[in-house]
Chain A
């Protein structure tokens, strides 16, 4: 089966600019997650979707970050305006259910550099 697709792979922007990341999960996976991974740290959950509804966005900095999954398939994560500390890899993951015995399947991520 095809994996989790993410784009772009890399993005360099100046602070205060906006950026958007795209994720297409594995077909049939109802649950989609966005994680932020700062260099040298473990992935940090930003938001979880179940189909097109938000399950948990308690760690999403809502003053600048937003995410949507309008049709319950693809998802976009946006940052506006970006700060230097947003430099990280943004990982999208999906699972068949909330916590599958087969774990999460991660995409290759988008590496964001804010200068």
Chain B
């Protein structure tokens, strides 16, 4: 099955440090979505990116879609303990289903 690669797989940061996760695809994406999954929880939709080079912000979170629409990133400024969880990107395939990436697990050390 289709798998979107995300890096890094794990990230430990000190509270207050920044965090970035990257999502890479070998194909051009029509759009991409980002989800957050807290430990023991279910994925929760964060945002969708559609346009080449698009940048969207949600408070301390900045989402970016690459110019070639083959990669995307999520950047968190000044992490807090509430940011703990796994962040997934999900890409839309030609059959109109979203395939989830491998995820980046974020640990924030108080």
Contact = CB atoms under 8 A, between A and B. Distances in A.
A45 B4 CA distance: 13
A106 interface: yes
Interface SS majority for chain A: loop
B45 A45 contact: no
B43 A106 contact: yes
Interface stretch (A21-29, A68-76, A77-85, A97-105): A97-105
Report the contact-size class of chain A (Cβ under 8 Å from the partner): 20 to 34
A91 B98 contact: no
B101 interface: yes
Contacts of A105: 45
A109 B100 CA distance: 16
Contacts of B31: 99
Nearest to A41: B102
Interface string B29-70: 001010100000111111010000000000000000000000
B31 to A, nearest CB: 7
Contacts of A109: 42
A107 B101 contact: no
A46 B60 CA distance: 34
Contacts of B41: 108
Contacts of A42: 3-4, 88, 100-103
A20 B102 CA distance: 27
Contacts of B96: 55, 98-99
Contacts of B44: 106
Given A42-B102, A44-B1, A103-B33, A56 B97 contact: yes
